[in-house]
Amino acid sequence: MSSLLRSSIATRSCRTSSNALCLRRSTLLLERSTRRRHSPSALPPPISFAFDIDGVLIRGEEPIPAARKALSILDGDNEWGMKIPYILLTNGGGVGEEERCRRLSKQLGVQIPVDRYIQAHTIIRSIASKYADHPVLVLGGRNDVLRKVAENYGFKHVYNSLDVLAWNPSVWPFHDLTPEEKASIKGADFSKLKIAGIFVFHDPRNWALDVQVMCDVILSGGTIGAGHATSSSPVDVVFCNPDLIWRSDFPVPRFGQGAFRDAFQAVYKSMTGMTCNYTQYGKPTEATYTFAEAALKDLLLARHESRQPSVYMVGDNPESDIAGANAAGWKSILVHTGVYDPRQGQPKHVPNHQAKDVAEAVQWALGQEMRGQRA
Ligand code: G3P
Ligand code: MG
């Protein structure tokens, strides 16, 4: 507040009363509120959050009841009346970031801006330029939804396993394309294309077809049907989510993209005796946590927040959320609303704290930082 504004408030309040005492009192009042405004406890502690989604904020399509409370605390419903920075960091995906934020905002009843949302394949945007002019295979998700997402990241020649099956149904004779799938096809002659990279963005809908097509592409050096690899440059293989299991609205965790990767590797090993080399993104990888930290920093910069905040990761999966946060030097909180069940005993990756749900996690973290601030 400018000194000009400060002195005008003081003068204005004294016009009504008769002497120096009144002036002194209002100046004192002003000083106290200024001291309070600039004293540490007037500002929220330097804290920020990264929230996992499945098993923390939602299960399947259903919001977890504590989610709205947790996010409203951070959106200003707190003793400081101030917004506390947070991002959503999920191994989920399957649609574009904008589309997912639209859906989440509706499910959670809280506006989720896209610059606060990171999903499993968002990081691929940072490497797309390397493959921009080469044919690539993008797997997972429904029909060709992820083709458009990949084109949005900068890939120009994006194909999927349904395109391959439409080109030659004998690639996998056990699936007839549905009318919806047929409508999503991009025609190509794969005997004339050299696929440079395979990107598994999200959980494949047809594991068998995708395992077959991945092996065909890799073992032929990129040209399906060309028989065993002749070319020197192997096909790059990238997986975006290592989760073996995740928590949906089914009472017991479901297989995730990591289970698909292991199934593919098992078949590939039976074929070649070897494991297929690949790049892994998604939590707990260092690449994804570094990417998320940069996004948090941008958020703080945009808020002119110069203090170095503690980052609290709130997650339901010890293997991805807690392992990654611990390795990144963040604080980690494991909630009991998702994959991890406390009856299983101590988790393999030990969090800084366990909480029954995300609201309790937020309150515990704020309490920690406030105590730290007072000390
Ligand atoms: O497919 C998504 C799943 O693997 C986990 O998502 O939000 O718990 O990281 P999330
Ligand atoms: Mg989760």
Same domain, 137 and 214: yes
The residue written with tokens 């990171």 in the block is 118
Residue 73 burial (CB < 10 Å; 0-12/13-18/19+)? middle
Decide whether any atom of ligand 1 lies within 6 Å of the 90 Cβ: yes
What's the pLDDT score for residue 151?
98
What's the pLDDT score for residue 6?
47
What's the pLDDT score for residue 80?
79
Which carries the bigger pLDDT value, residue 198 or residue 12? 198
Same domain, 113 and 152: no
Same domain, 68 and 23: no
Same domain, 159 and 263: yes
What's the pLDDT score for residue 222?
95
Instruction: Report pTM.
Output: 0.88
| Ligand 2 centroid, distance to 6 Cα (angstroms) | 49
| Ligand 2 centroid, distance to 223 Cα (angstroms) | 37
Angle between helices 207-219 and 257-272 (to 10 degrees): 50
Question: CATH code at 62?
Answer: 3.40.50.1000
Answer with the one of 265, 280, 295 that is the final residue of a domain. Answer: 280
The fraction of the chain above a pLDDT of 70, given in percent, is 85
Per-residue pLDDT band for 5 (boundaries 50, 70, 90) equals very low
The fraction of the chain above a pLDDT of 90, given in percent, is 77
Same domain, 221 and 235: yes
Measured from the Cα of 52, ligand 1's closest atom is: 7
pLDDT mean over 329-334: 97
Measured from the Cα of 245, ligand 1's closest atom is: 4
| Ligand 1 centroid, distance to 131 Cα (angstroms) | 26
The answer, yes or no, to whether residue 28 has pLDDT greater than 70, is no
Answer with the one of 280, 305, 325 that is the final residue of a domain. Answer: 280
Instruction: State the average pLDDT for the chain.
Output: 89
What's the pLDDT score for residue 230?
52
pLDDT tens sequence across 87-119 = 999 999 999 999 999 999 999 999 999 999 999
Same domain, 67 and 203: no
Same domain, 134 and 261: yes
Same domain, 208 and 319: no
Per-residue pLDDT band for 308 (boundaries 50, 70, 90) equals confident
Per-residue pLDDT band for 327 (boundaries 50, 70, 90) equals very high
Write out the residue range of the structural domain in which residue 16 sits. Answer: 3-39
Measured from the Cα of 202, ligand 1's closest atom is: 1
- CB-based contact 240:257 (threshold 8 Å): yes
Neighbours of 233 (CB within 10 A): 10
What's the pLDDT score for residue 39?
54
Task: Ligand 1 pocket test: pick from 52, 54, 119, 320 the residue with the most ligand atoms within 8 Å of its Cβ.
Answer: 54
The answer, yes or no, to whether residue 13 has pLDDT greater than 50, is no
Same domain, 140 and 267: yes
Same domain, 157 and 265: yes
Measured from the Cα of 91, ligand 1's closest atom is: 9
The answer, yes or no, to whether residue 33 has pLDDT greater than 70, is no
Instruction: Using CA atoms of 329, 335, 339, 341 in order, give the dihedral in degrees to the nearest 10.
Output: 120
Same domain, 194 and 270: yes
What's the pLDDT score for residue 232?
56
Same domain, 174 and 235: yes
Decide whether any atom of ligand 1 lies within 6 Å of the 319 Cβ: no
Decide whether any atom of ligand 1 lies within 6 Å of the 91 Cβ: yes
pLDDT tens sequence across 171-230 = 999 999 999 999 999 999 999 999 999 999 999 999 999 999 999 999 999 999 887 655
CA dist 279 and 199 (Å) reads 9
Answer with the one of 239, 260, 280 that is the final residue of a domain. Answer: 280
pLDDT mean over 340-351: 96
The answer, yes or no, to whether residue 257 has pLDDT greater than 70, is yes
| Ligand 1 centroid, distance to 91 Cα (angstroms) | 4
pLDDT mean over 311-338: 98
- Sheet of 197-200: strand order equals 157-159, 135-139, 197-200, 236-239, 279-280
Q: How far is CA 198 from the centre of its chain?
A: 21
| Ligand 2 centroid, distance to 316 Cα (angstroms) | 5
**Ligand having the closest approach to the CA of 241:** 1
Domain count, the chain: 3
| Ligand 1 centroid, distance to 248 Cα (angstroms) | 9
